[in-house]
């Protein structure tokens, strides 16, 4: 599907203004599952750099396992290419803030495209891993998702199926759904271990309640995390377009 950048001028929903610099990359996220588990803040503190404050909601930090399919991945001004610009991706994340800007911190990002993995490891120094991945869609909108990490190290695998199971809605400020999804930056550290913020912009999320079955899920284990023995909070999004800016070092 074609990338329509007209959403960039829609900023009323943003919690802070757009960066004054030009954006540099674009992506579309398709058939995305947000699977979230509450987790004790102290249990993840050693895994999150002290540069970032762990964000909490309803008394807990949160771990997200988020499978989806990427399309339209390209730098600004460059057309999307079939093999380079479309591939499955899967991330494990939590929520942090630096100053007054809440964002996302990634424990891992698995992708089926080795070129994308190589580039993202170098810039913007995100913890990407190459994985064998398959995504299938059934007529009833069920997504069957399989991922097995190919890089050496601790194995990481996800075998799951999920589908939307409710009416569309827009998360409202102050709700847990808003806390978990409406994030307009990510945080990381560069090759000198200096903290940075990478700003993003996208339309306000449109979500649906989802159902999911997890046949295998060792994604959090591979990051040194233990998911609690409770049912995850599940949401589905059909599509989300985004643009991103170059990382900016935090002072």
Is residue 244 within 8 A of residue 27, CB to CB? The reply is: yes
Domain boundaries, the chain: 23-246
Distances (CA, A) of 231 to 36, 93, 167, 176: 9, 17, 21, 16
Looking at the domain covering 23-246, what would its CATH class be?
Answer: mainly beta
Cis ω for the linkage preceding 237 (within 30 of 0):
no
Is residue 207 predicted with pLDDT exceeding 80? Answer: yes
Is residue 150 predicted with pLDDT exceeding 90? Answer: yes
Counting residues of the chain whose pLDDT is more than 70, the rounded percentage is 100
Is residue 1 predicted with pLDDT exceeding 80? Answer: no
Is residue 29 within 8 A of residue 240, CB to CB? The reply is: yes
Task: Give the model confidence (pLDDT) of 58-115 as tens digits.
Answer: 999 999 999 999 999 999 999 888 878 999 999 999 999 999 999 999 999 999 999 9
pLDDT at position 172? 97
pLDDT at position 249? 97
Is residue 152 predicted with pLDDT exceeding 90? Answer: no
Task: Give the model confidence (pLDDT) of 170-192 as tens digits.
Answer: 999 999 999 999 999 999 999 99
pLDDT at position 200? 98
Give the mean model confidence (pLDDT) for residues 229-248. 98
CA-atom Rg of the chain in angstroms:
17
pLDDT at position 118? 93
Is residue 207 within 8 A of residue 236, CB to CB? The reply is: yes
Query: Which stretches of the chain are assigned E, i.e. beta strand?
Result: 25-39, 53-54, 61-75, 87-98, 101-111, 128-137, 143-149, 157-164, 185-189, 195-201, 208-217, 233-244, 248-249
Task: Give the model confidence (pLDDT) of 30-53 as tens digits.
Answer: 999 999 999 999 999 999 999 999
pLDDT at position 251? 81
Q: ∠ at Cα 65 (59, 68), nearest 5°?
A: 135
Give the mean model confidence (pLDDT) for residues 192-220. 98
pLDDT at position 67? 98
pLDDT band at 223 (very low <50, low <70, confident <90, very high): very high
């Amino acid at each position: 599907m074609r990338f329509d950048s007209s959403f960039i001028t829609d900023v009323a929903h943003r919690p802070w203004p757009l960066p004054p610099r030009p954006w540099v990359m674009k992506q579309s996220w398709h058939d995305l599952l947000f699977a979230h588990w509450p987790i004790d803040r102290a249990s993840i503190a050693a895994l999150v750099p002290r540069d970032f404050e762990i964000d909490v909601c309803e008394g807990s930090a949160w771990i997200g396992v988020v499978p989806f399919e990427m399309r339209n991945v390209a730098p600004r001004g460059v057309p999307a290419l079939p093999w380079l610009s479309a591939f499955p991706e899967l991330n494990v994340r939590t929520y942090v803030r630096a100053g007054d800007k809440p964002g996302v911190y990634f424990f891992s990002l698995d992708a089926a495209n080795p070129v994308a993995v190589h580039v993202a490891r170098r810039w913007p120094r995100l913890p990407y891993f190459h994985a064998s991945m398959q995504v299938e869609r059934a007529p009833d909108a069920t997504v069957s998702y399989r991922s097995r990490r190919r890089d050496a190290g601790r194995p990481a695998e996800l075998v799951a199926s999920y589908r939307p199971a409710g009416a569309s809605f827009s998360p409202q400020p102050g709700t847990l759904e808003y806390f978990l999804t409406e994030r307009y930056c990510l945080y990381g550290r560069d090759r000198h271990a200096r903290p940075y913020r990478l700003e993003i912009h996208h339309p306000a999320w449109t979500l649906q309640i989802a159902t999911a079955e997890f046949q295998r899920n060792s994604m959090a284990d591979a990051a040194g995390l233990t998911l609690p023995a409770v049912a995850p909070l599940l949401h589905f999004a059909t599509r989300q377009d985004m643009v991103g800016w170059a990382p900016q070092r935090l002072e």
